[in-house]
Amino acid sequence: MNRQLFPQTVIAMIWDFDKTLIPGNMQGPLFRHFGIEESAFWDEVDGLEEWYTARGADLIARDRLYLDHILTYVREGRMPGLSNALLRSLGAEMNFHRGIPDFLELVRKSIESEPRFAEHQIKVEHYIVSTGLRQMILGSAIAPFVDDVWACEFTEMIAPPGYRDQQGQLFSPDGEIRQLIYTIDNTSKTRALFEINKGTNRNPAIDVNAKMAQEDRRVPFQNMIYIADGPSDVPVFSVVDANGGRTYAVYRPGSQGEFEQAARLLEQDRVDAFGEADYSESSHTAMWLTHAAHGIARRIVNDRAEALNERVGLPPRHVADD
């Protein structure tokens, strides 16, 4: 008996965040809140790898350096009282590219309102996979429109030696974030894709590293559309493209440098297409992404029709007399 775990009727639109959904980096409101010059902070981050190397460090996780530097600012009193609650409230100050978050609901409804797609219960889900701060994303205007978010997390909790013998959760006495509890970098973004692919985020009993037949995976890669802005997303672009999904690069409207960066991704066959980070209803980007989603939906309908014919077969017919 053939029993599939999932019907595979989900179209997953997977979004990078910084410079894809918003014009710059999400940490802007954080720096403004504490009166810290944003460019000075990032200049310090850019120099950290060299600073540690000059002092004997051999292996450095460069993608998490900015996260550790935020913790350094907290410890040194430059960001006093920084908590997850504050990060979430600061997320509300982020400004999105034109058309966001409305486009997420528009493309979802454009699929669900099509009768032939509704017949097969085809739907769109939106996911964010970011190297940024998860709590800020969850506090932003886009949060109600997304199904899940993979991004970096801090915690105020501390588990000191002997914590198993102590009762309750232990928090920092001043409520500040103290350590990293989850990180995403440009390479580990691909792990998030496999969690979406296998349905780990919907069913924790499914281990992302478990061997799983393609027909049992919740969201086949060919049902995915990945939208991002730059070369740092090449590992994810490659995984989605190699497995039959769709890929799209965006650039900030009016930016020649970002345009050329996106164009190079197309020239190198890293993406299927590119366009301005303008998601208003009549924009090129909105139309391309909607068209891609509809193309996937049509393919799902055709695949299910073919599967039905193969399993049910043709009805018996009378044999005509000679």
Assess whether pLDDT exceeds 60 at residue 187: yes
149, part of any domain: yes
Find the helix packing angle between 38-54 and 65-75, rounded to 10°: 110
- Please give the torsion angle defined by the CA atoms of residues 275, 251, 135 and 45, in that order, rounded to the nearest 10 degrees: 160
243, part of any domain: yes
86, part of any domain: no
273, part of any domain: yes
269, part of any domain: yes
Gap between the Cα atoms of 244 and 223, Å rounded: 8
Gap between the Cα atoms of 306 and 107, Å rounded: 26
**What's residue 10's pLDDT?**
96
DSSP lists the bridge partners of residue 149 as 128
Gap between the Cα atoms of 126 and 104, Å rounded: 7
Q: Which of 225-234, 247-256, 275-284, 302-311 has the lowest mean pLDDT?
A: 302-311
Question: Which pLDDT band, with edges at 50, 70 and 90, does 170 fall under?
Answer: low
50, part of any domain: no
Question: Cβ-count burial of 37 within 10 angstroms (0-12 exposed, 13-18 middle, 19+ buried)?
Answer: exposed
Query: Alpha carbon of 6 to those of 200, 217, 263: distances in Å?
Result: 12, 7, 37
**What's residue 168's pLDDT?**
55
Gap between the Cα atoms of 256 and 262, Å rounded: 10
**What's residue 305's pLDDT?**
81
**What's residue 1's pLDDT?**
41
75, part of any domain: no
45, part of any domain: no
pTM of the predicted model as reported, rounded to 2 decimal places: 0.91
CATH of the domain at 283: 3.40.50.1000
Overall number of domains in the chain: 1
Percent of the chain having pLDDT more than 90? Answer: 78
Question: Which pLDDT band, with edges at 50, 70 and 90, does 319 fall under?
Answer: low
Answer for the pair 12, 192: CB distance below 8 angstroms, yes or no.
no
Question: Cβ-count burial of 256 within 10 angstroms (0-12 exposed, 13-18 middle, 19+ buried)?
Answer: exposed
* Domain around 199: 10-24+96-312
Q: What is the mean pLDDT of the chain?
A: 91
Query: Could you tell me which of 100, 133, 178 has the C-alpha nearest to residue 30?
Result: 133
